[in-house]
Amino acid sequence: MGTQLELSQARRQELVELLDDPGRMEAESPLLARYLEIAPHLAGTGNDEVDAAFELRILHFMSSRGAEEDPYWSIVAPLVSSTDGRRVLNGGSPTGSARLAFAQTILQEAFAFAVPSPETVSWIATVADGARVVEVGAGRGYWANRLHARGVEVVAFDADPPDVAVNPSFSASGAQPRTWHPVEGMERFRHLIADGSDSVLFLCWPPGWGNSMASDMLRDFEQSGGSKLLFVGEPQGGKTANDQFFSALSESWDLKSTDDEFVSWWNLADGAQFWVRRA
């Protein structure tokens, strides 16, 4: 878990020069700059080797100008451990750490709220079974990027695509791409979803706390003839989706598959589910 990242001497020198130039850091990697400003004041996991290895990974991959194919997973994969039958990101500490909790918010803003592990991406490819995946609320399009790389046909939409609109959940990213896959506005979604019978609706961390986005999208998808749903989020009463969404699932949909290999942060209860509408 604490395995050191193998970097060339030239790359290490680049990182030293970046750390020595706060102005450049802020301009090129504002999220990384925010992390490095706050993280040293927060408690780690108690394992210095794990913490140091994580610091190097987040520094390297978040300042690499998008050259890494899957920087999110590259940063967090060594943190995975098994707890109560779940794969969680906790750095080997059952209670994680304050520093990891802060890193979690930075990485969610930089990439995605949920973690698209290779196993989960493969699971989605299997259950989608060749159908087009339509992701709504795609944010930076990071999940769409990973699905596309896996060979899944995917289109992504968001009310505020971060590359063309102000999105409070995904601020300026500096050297990192603003979007990792083309993310279109909702106007195009309304046109595309006129017939949803050949598509799988994908909702990844739709907003909770009474926000109607999840139930609205599910209703529109049902009305278009759609019958397959991928949901990544927390159970009812958690941080994702609204009560009407979960009620609609109970009334008209059957849970067909869950991803047993899903990777979550230790302090979240999210998972991945595949639902099919009853005939």
Q: What is the pTM of this model?
A: 0.95
Pick the CATH number of 118-277 from 1.10.10.60, 3.40.50.150, 3.30.830.10, 3.30.379.10: 3.40.50.150
**Whole-angstrom Cα distance, residue 265 to residue 268?**
6
Q: Phi-psi category of 122—alpha, beta or left, where left has phi over 0 and alpha has psi -120 to 50? A: alpha
- CA dist., res. 99 & res. 43, Å (int): 6
Do residues 213 and 206 touch, judged by C-beta distance below 8 A?
yes
- The domain segmentation of the chain, as residue ranges, is 9-110, 118-277
- Alpha-carbon distance of 137 to 156, in angstroms, equals 8
How far apart CA 217 and CA 207 sit, in angstroms, is 12
d(CA 215, CA 243): 8
Token pair listed for 59: 């520094």
pLDDT tens across the length of the chain (279 residues): 555 789 999 999 999 999 999 999 999 999 999 999 999 999 999 999 999 999 999 999 999 875 678 999 999 999 999 999 999 999 999 999 999 999 999 999 999 999 999 999 999 999 999 999 999 999 999 999 999 999 999 999 999 999 989 998 998 777 788 999 999 999 888 777 767 788 999 999 999 998 999 999 999 999 999 999 999 999 999 999 999 999 999 999 999 999 999 999 999 999 999 999 998
